[in-house]
Amino acid sequence: MEELFKVCKKYKDGNCTLEELHQRLSWIGVPDRYIELVAETERKLEMIQFTRLESKWYEEAVEVIDSLLSQIE
């Protein structure tokens, strides 16, 4: 879980791209009860990347990340 929090913070701090965030989420190990939640987050981030203007990626991805984190914490 530490790695999940770390990559989310890294993205929110502007230290990785949306592509990097999506890629890292796909291989981070999480407890079974969070697997579907993380998978859904990946799908939402992918939709942002392919259907939104790049100028909106950060703002919309942060909303998705915050939603994920609020459901875990």
Residue-wise pLDDT for 34-73, tens only, equals 999 999 999 999 999 999 999 999 999 999 999 999 999 7
Give the Cα separation of 68 and 54 in Å (integer): 21
**pLDDT at res. 56:** 96
**pLDDT at res. 5:** 95
Domain ranges of the chain: 2-72
| CB half-sphere exposure, 12, CA atoms < 13 A | 12
**pLDDT at res. 23:** 92
Q: What secondary structure letter does DSSP report for 33?
A: G
**pLDDT at res. 54:** 94
**pLDDT at res. 7:** 96
